[in-house]
Chains A and B, each alone.
Chain A
Amino acid sequence: MTLAGHLDPAHPLSPRQAFRQLNPAARQVVGIEPASLWEQDSQLLSPVLRRYRQRMRDYAHAVLAPQAAAIDRRPDDAAAIASLVRRFARDGLLTDFLPSPLGTLPVSLVPQAPLAMAIKLEELAAVCGGIALIIGAHGLGMLPLMMAGDMKLSARVLLPAFVRTRRGDPVIFAYALTEPTGGSDVEDSLAASRYKSRTIAMRTKGGWLLNGHKQFISGGDHAAHVAVFATLDGEDMRSTTCFLVDTDARGYTCARTELKMGQRASHAAELYFDNLFVPDDRVVGKPRQGWAINRAILNVSRVPVAALALGIARGTMDRTLALAASTRVGGRRLLDRQDVQLAIAQMMVDVSAMRAVVWQAAGQGRSLQTRSSIAKVFCSDTAVKVCQDALDLLGEAGLAADAGIEKGFRDARLAQIYEGTNQINRLAIIEDQMEWLLSLASPESGR
């Protein structure tokens, strides 16, 4: 069996046969690996990560795949989503990124936790970007507690949340930053310096009264706790403070959820705070520390967004390959056409490059602004390109919702917007590289 346009692998001129003539030393350097790109990349991982990757892939196909298309069509099916989230809770997917001793990630993976989380998100998003976002947004909601390093508050909130979640009664967290008047303004330092937040915290006895409005808050409708960023009354964005809000508190309203283009399993909620009392012990970190927490979290969370985009592209590529292998036009398989082979190879190039960028960014010890933004911009742009290429390759066959190709485009497109638009992320790269760039412009640079 061979693909049209290629020699039979048994032919003496095929590299598969020719390389047998190489001596053992040469074969150590140059090899033939009759395995998929996914399997080849797995070989780059440690054995424990390799097993984890396979487990996540199997899990996504067993648990997410049967529901993904139905939830995309009916994102208001609360029962289906709740059932899925309960399953995630029982299986440890909502608690694995917690620090020891709560985290449910296998102990052997803890030193490589960011890479493991990137691998998990790729595998889940390969089946459904929206369902992967449910988990990703929940992790984002927990991050302020972990980043602020407030052990008392973490113990008070995370411990009971962990216990309930592991019992199958999920306690969901969300992250409320975006405002109707400020999306990019709350993610970029210069813009923030000129922005006046519409979510204000006023001092009151024993705590704070929150008033304001947030929008596009992923998971805000299902969350039990929301990390809300607000400025202090009469002060500018430097006073940004993070408050952990219980959603059953008086004054908290989830007014509506949006009908989105894609990633529809995860709802974007519009939240209102009306004299919502937040006790002092629910301030995450310290007052006026919120901007630092927010910018730090953006550095951390942009890599998972890149991983999610990678997963969406990978899944779309896999489904495209399956269709190309099973569709016949003009009496031959699409996969046997050279133009189709070229397009598929380009998808593999793109997905492989995305994975290299994600694994590099997730494998570094600290989340650096430049690397995180590069990963986010590159992977989200490339994911959209891969999905657009898939639509081009399949033509009308790729347009049917049932084929699962067009959903990839809709899902991927959000990655260019959230966690800072790609325009904002490009500016974040320049902001982070400022000293180096200025050194190039200085007279001493000699150029």
Chain B
Amino acid sequence: MSSKEFPASSRDVDEPAVLPAERAQLRATAERFVARHLAPWRDSPDYVPSPAENEAVVEAAAGAGLLVGTATPGYGWLVEDRDGLDGTVALLALLAAHHATTAFQLHRLALGEWLRVRLGAPLPACRTLPWLPTGHALAEPAFVNFLGRGIVPSPEEALLPLSGAPLAWPSTPAWDQLAGPVPVGDGIRWSVLAERPGAEAAGPLHGLDGTRQYTATLSAREPAVALCPDMPAAEAAPVMVELLGRDALGLMALALGVVRRAGEQAREQAGRRVQGGGLIRAHAAVQGLLAETRVALISTETALQAAGAPPRELATLCRVLALRSVAHELLCRGANAAMQVFGGSGYMRDMGLERAVRDCNQLRACAGASADLRLFIARAELPS
């Protein structure tokens, strides 16, 4: 990974606009990357890349400029251009349609990159993952209070990373650091929480084959390495809000890409498979399944367009999470419907449909499943 020094001061939160020419260039870069590195994996859905292959593909993405933009240095390409469906959403969906695991990892690393720049972190650029709360923690009233009112949760609630407390996050092996907010008195110290040599990788996860649940315990003896000067909680909370919002949009875009691919496969199958003397697409039962997939795609595309730019305050985060809570449920139904079109074949790993279902399930459960997101919204909108 290339070494890059960022300015120590916090960067202006307003992102530079991405020009149409830059966007077209980025799209072309992404398409070349996908064709070269991900298309073979898309065409062999039961193949699970080795840890070394996962590392190599992230290096290749970084080398191609997908993680660290060239036009706007320091801003990860995958998180900087949130112009509805034409920008990052389109790129993430394109990547996920080919290989959701890689797309997920690039998304989270790009978020880590964004976080470092957002904080003006004076550290060499490396593969940083952002800490994100689990769904239950997200919906806890004390965490909602932190985001909305800048009140640091008490240590007993352990809703933010604490010394001696265990941390867990999903990832491929292609990462170096986990960074997140540690409470220090009434303020927040954005810190390096874990490094890969000290983290344990547990067994496989449900979907996104190649990801593992990493765990580490934040050292109680050694102080965490700060990414930037300590900041008041009221200043740290908007960073967390934006991080959560960008992650939510990214997860939706990833699942969108997965279901787009599954839907294409289902339509092809419906136009190829014969049953009862005719193509199965003539049956209302199959049309209903195809419709389920289309409804999920159209609804999610509309939601992503409506969501627009990443949220910077609690109210707009609630809007994004509301859209996400519906979109992921629809996308899971869409993936299942696409799989059902294939009958028994869809259940077999070599078709890729069952993988789409598992990937959608995993993306839905990450950083807040639907019920957690809804509780979060209710609690954020209730009076204190």
Are B349 and A260 in contact (CB-based, < 8 A)? yes
Contact residues, B310-368 vs A (CB, 8 A): 332, 336, 339-340, 343-344, 346-350, 354, 357-358, 361-362, 364-366, 368
Are A259 and B206 in contact (CB-based, < 8 A)? no
CB contact between B276 and one of A194, A262, A339 (< 8 Å): that residue: A194
B140 contacts A by Cβ under 8 Å: yes
A388 contacts B by Cβ under 8 Å: yes
Interface centre among B135, B136, B366 (most CB of A within 10 A): B136
A contact residues around B204 at 8 Å (CB): 73, 401
B contact residues around A393 at 8 Å (CB): 369, 371
A304 contacts B by Cβ under 8 Å: no
Given contacts A395-B134, A396-B168, contact A388 B343 (CB under 8 A): no
A contact residues around B203 at 8 Å (CB): 73, 400-402
Provide the B289-323 mask, 1 if CB < 8 A to any CB of A, else 0: 10000000000000000000000000000000000
Closest to B206 in A: A406
| Complex Cα–Cα for A384 and B337 (A) | 13
A431 contacts B by Cβ under 8 Å: no
Given contacts A392-B369, A396-B135, A396-B170, contact A259 B348 (CB under 8 A): yes
A330 contacts B by Cβ under 8 Å: yes
Are A185 and B343 in contact (CB-based, < 8 A)? no
B279 contacts A by Cβ under 8 Å: no
Which among B20-28, B117-125, B154-162 touches the partner chain? B154-162
Contact residues, A177-203 vs B (CB, 8 A): 178, 181-185, 188, 190-191, 194-195
| Complex Cα–Cα for A421 and B275 (A) | 13
A340, chain B: closest CB distance, angstroms:
8
A409, chain B: closest CB distance, angstroms:
7
Are A399 and B170 in contact (CB-based, < 8 A)? yes
A contact residues around B205 at 8 Å (CB): 399-401, 406
Are A329 and B206 in contact (CB-based, < 8 A)? no
A contact residues around B366 at 8 Å (CB): 395-396
Are B369 and A395 in contact (CB-based, < 8 A)? yes
B279, chain A: closest CB distance, angstroms:
12
A387, chain B: closest CB distance, angstroms:
9
Are A413 and B347 in contact (CB-based, < 8 A)? yes
Are B275 and A413 in contact (CB-based, < 8 A)? no
A203, chain B: closest CB distance, angstroms:
27
Are A392 and B346 in contact (CB-based, < 8 A)? no
B351, chain A: closest CB distance, angstroms:
10
A contact residues around B372 at 8 Å (CB): 395
Are A401 and B206 in contact (CB-based, < 8 A)? yes
Given contacts A401-B203, A418-B344, contact A331 B361 (CB under 8 A): no
B242 contacts A by Cβ under 8 Å: no
A17 contacts B by Cβ under 8 Å: no
| Complex Cα–Cα for A257 and B158 (A) | 48
Are B347 and A330 in contact (CB-based, < 8 A)? no
A416 contacts B by Cβ under 8 Å: yes
A176, chain B: closest CB distance, angstroms:
13
Contact residues, B154-182 vs A (CB, 8 A): 156-159, 168-170
Are B134 and A417 in contact (CB-based, < 8 A)? no
Closest to A264 in B: B349
Given contacts A391-B361, A399-B206, A402-B203, contact A334 B136 (CB under 8 A): yes
A397 contacts B by Cβ under 8 Å: yes
Are B343 and A330 in contact (CB-based, < 8 A)? no
Provide the A225-258 mask, 1 if CB < 8 A to any CB of B, else 0: 0000000000000000000000000000000001
| Complex Cα–Cα for A190 and B206 (A) | 38
A343 contacts B by Cβ under 8 Å: yes
A contact residues around B192 at 8 Å (CB): none
B26, chain A: closest CB distance, angstroms:
31
Interface centre among B137, B206, B349, B369 (most CB of A within 10 A): B206
A309 contacts B by Cβ under 8 Å: no
Given contacts A331-B157, A399-B213, A413-B347, contact A191 B275 (CB under 8 A): yes
B225 contacts A by Cβ under 8 Å: no
Chain A-chain B contacts (Cβ-Cβ < 8 Å), number: 153
A contact residues around B365 at 8 Å (CB): 391-392, 394-396, 398-399
B93, chain A: closest CB distance, angstroms:
22
B285 contacts A by Cβ under 8 Å: yes
B18 contacts A by Cβ under 8 Å: no
Are A190 and B276 in contact (CB-based, < 8 A)? yes
B contact residues around A423 at 8 Å (CB): 285-286, 289, 340
Closest to A337 in B: B136
A268 contacts B by Cβ under 8 Å: yes
| Complex Cα–Cα for A402 and B201 (A) | 12
Are B346 and A399 in contact (CB-based, < 8 A)? no
A414 contacts B by Cβ under 8 Å: yes
| Complex Cα–Cα for A73 and B204 (A) | 9
Provide the A301-339 mask, 1 if CB < 8 A to any CB of B, else 0: 000000000000000000000000000011100100101
CB contact between A410 and one of B169, B276, B336, B358 (< 8 Å): that residue: B358
Are B137 and A330 in contact (CB-based, < 8 A)? yes
B contact residues around A398 at 8 Å (CB): 206, 365
B112, chain A: closest CB distance, angstroms:
18
B274 contacts A by Cβ under 8 Å: yes
CB contact between A414 and one of B159, B277, B332, B347 (< 8 Å): that residue: B347
Closest to B156 in A: A331
Closest to A395 in B: B135
Are B206 and A339 in contact (CB-based, < 8 A)? no
A84 contacts B by Cβ under 8 Å: no
Closest to A343 in B: B371
Are B340 and A391 in contact (CB-based, < 8 A)? no
B202 contacts A by Cβ under 8 Å: yes
Are A188 and B276 in contact (CB-based, < 8 A)? yes
B contact residues around A388 at 8 Å (CB): 332, 361
B contact residues around A331 at 8 Å (CB): 156-158
A347, chain B: closest CB distance, angstroms:
13
B370 contacts A by Cβ under 8 Å: yes
Closest to B278 in A: A194
Are B202 and A402 in contact (CB-based, < 8 A)? yes
B contact residues around A190 at 8 Å (CB): 276
| Complex Cα–Cα for A382 and B340 (A) | 16
CB contact between A409 and one of B158, B361, B371 (< 8 Å): that residue: B361
Are A330 and B277 in contact (CB-based, < 8 A)? no
Closest to A181 in B: B274
Contact residues, A248-286 vs B (CB, 8 A): 258-262, 268
B contact residues around A384 at 8 Å (CB): 336
B210 contacts A by Cβ under 8 Å: no
B142 contacts A by Cβ under 8 Å: yes
B73, chain A: closest CB distance, angstroms:
33
A173 contacts B by Cβ under 8 Å: no
Closest to A416 in B: B340
Can you identify 21 A-B contacts, CB atoms within 8 angstroms? A190-B276, A195-B276, A195-B277, A259-B348, A261-B347, A261-B349, A329-B137, A330-B153, A391-B361, A392-B370, A395-B366, A399-B170, A400-B202, A400-B213, A401-B203, A406-B205, A406-B358, A410-B206, A410-B354, A416-B340, A417-B346
Interface residues in chain A, defined as those with a beta carbon under 8 Å from any beta carbon in chain B: 73, 178, 181-185, 188, 190-191, 194-195, 215-216, 258-262, 268, 329-331, 334, 337, 339, 343, 384, 388, 391-402, 406, 409-410, 413-414, 416-418, 421-423, 426-427
Question: What are the 5 A-B residue pairs with the smallest beta carbon separation, nearest first?
Answer: A194-B277, A406-B206, A191-B276, A395-B135, A261-B354
